[in-house]
């Protein structure tokens, strides 16, 4: 069979187009009823003989070159340092906190703690240039791969360095400190913190899971995050991962917040309220939570000035978690 000159046909024979291609010699097929195994083996051998007489020429596609983007990382780092970190910075401490949702002192504290990690130290790159200081890059002009790698390293380093101080359950001394601090700040004696839940949008939720992770008032798949925060913004409890179709009450049944209470390992908090002695702290919540002694909610109907004042103070104190 002569090879085709049509460029769209990528099959050609091993022989030249000027030569006659001999027909392939097929072996005789045995009777499939008497020898089915031999029949199929001979048939496969014939197919392989036909296929071996042809060769496939893949289409020659143009090679795509990687686009090089001159990001001017050094210039971006200098501008960032001049805008936020010099003595006469363009944006002061208040602007820094508004832009990055944290104080500059807290940011520098995290930077100084991360500098012990070799990944966040300055070192020459493959071209011999001094690499950018990655731990101080809030707006570096990095590529996507480098940005994801930095974020992964950053999260692991924060957990490794600060987990012993912040990412833990409060001790007996911490409970006493929280209770005293909230009594002074919010006038709520022996309050442990504010409890609330939020729905975190799950953009890449699989379609088959949309029904389990979508609630009517949200309109999109979400994952619920439960948090207890204190007045100094110490989030000492965070429970994450429950499907967004659950309500706050259903979520509470799965939470680990009261495991210490159920196992009788909770630190005792003694205080007197309404001429009654209490041995457990409490949390400020909104109205959807059940009427448990550990939850202090606001009043729905305010019949007197005392209840109105309590409602204002309770909602103001709950701003810690919101």
Q: What's the domain range around 154?
A: 74-162
250, part of any domain: yes
45, part of any domain: yes
- The model carries a pTM of 0.56
Q: Are residues 195 and 113 in the same domain?
A: no
Q: Are residues 215 and 280 in the same domain?
A: yes
Sign of the CA dihedral 230, 235, 236, 239?
positive
Q: Are residues 307 and 258 in the same domain?
A: yes
Please report the pLDDT score of residue 222 as a whole number. 92
Three-state secondary-structure class, residue 193: strand
67, part of any domain: no
Please report the pLDDT score of residue 4 as a whole number. 43
Rounded to an integer, what distance in angstroms lies between the CA atom of residue 179 and that of residue 231?
A: 10
Q: Are residues 146 and 189 in the same domain?
A: no
Q: Are residues 185 and 238 in the same domain?
A: yes
1, part of any domain: no
* Total tally of structural domains belonging to the chain: 3
Q: Are residues 205 and 284 in the same domain?
A: yes
Rounded to an integer, what distance in angstroms lies between the CA atom of residue 241 and that of residue 237?
A: 14
Q: Are residues 144 and 251 in the same domain?
A: no
Q: Are residues 106 and 215 in the same domain?
A: no
User: 143-173 burial by CB neighbour count: b if 16+ within 10 A, else e?
Assistant: eeeeeeebeebbeebeeeeeeeeeeeebeee
Q: Are residues 289 and 190 in the same domain?
A: yes
Q: Which residue has the higher pLDDT, 60 or 105?
A: 105
Q: Are residues 201 and 313 in the same domain?
A: yes
Q: Are residues 89 and 187 in the same domain?
A: no
Three-state secondary-structure class, residue 192: strand
Rounded to an integer, what distance in angstroms lies between the CA atom of residue 53 and that of residue 264?
A: 80
pLDDT digits (tens, 9 = 90+) for 157-200: 888 888 888 878 888 888 888 888 888 888 888 888 888 888 88
Chosen domain end from 108, 130, 162: 162
User: 192-212 burial by CB neighbour count: b if 16+ within 10 A, else e?
Assistant: bbbbbbebeebeebeeeeeee
The number of helices, as runs of H, and strands, as runs of E, in the chain is 10, 9
Rounded to an integer, what distance in angstroms lies between the CA atom of residue 249 and that of residue 290?
A: 7
pLDDT digits (tens, 9 = 90+) for 44-60: 887 777 767 666 666 67
């Amino acid at each position: 069979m002569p090879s085709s000159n049509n460029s769209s046909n990528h099959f050609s024979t091993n022989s030249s187009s000027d030569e006659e291609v001999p027909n392939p010699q097929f072996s005789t097929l045995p009777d499939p009823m008497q020898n089915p195994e031999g029949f199929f083996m001979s048939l496969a051998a014939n197919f392989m003989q036909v296929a071996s007489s042809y060769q496939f020429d893949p289409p020659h596609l143009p090679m795509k070159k990687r686009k090089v983007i001159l990001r001017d990382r050094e210039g971006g780092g200098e501008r960032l340092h001049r805008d936020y970190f010099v003595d006469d910075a363009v944006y002061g401490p208040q602007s820094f906190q508004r832009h990055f949702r944290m104080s500059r002192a807290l940011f520098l504290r995290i930077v100084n703690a991360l500098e012990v990690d070799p990944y966040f130290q300055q070192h020459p790159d493959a071209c011999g240039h001094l690499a950018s200081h990655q731990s101080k890059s809030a707006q570096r002009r990095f590529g996507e791969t480098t940005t994801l790698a930095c974020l992964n390293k950053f999260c692991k380093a924060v957990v490794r360095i600060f987990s012993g101080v912040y990412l833990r359950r409060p001790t007996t001394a911490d409970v006493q400190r929280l209770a005293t601090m909230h009594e002074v700040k919010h006038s709520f004696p022996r309050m442990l913190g504010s409890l609330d839940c939020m729905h975190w949008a799950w953009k890449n939720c699989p379609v088959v899971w949309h029904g389990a992770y979508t609630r009517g008032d949200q309109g999109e798949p979400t994952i619920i995050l439960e948090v207890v925060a204190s007045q100094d913004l110490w989030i000492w409890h965070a429970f994450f991962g429950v499907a967004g179709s659950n309500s706050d009450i259903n979520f509470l049944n799965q939470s680990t917040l009261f495991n210490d209470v159920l196992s009788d390992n909770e630190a005792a908090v003694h205080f007197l309220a309404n001429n009654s002695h209490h041995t457990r702290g409490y949390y400020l919540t909104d109205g959807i939570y059940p009427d448990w002694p550990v939850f202090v909610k606001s009043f729905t109907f305010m019949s007197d000035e005392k209840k109105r004042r309590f409602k204002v103070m309770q909602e103001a104190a709950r701003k810690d978690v919101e």
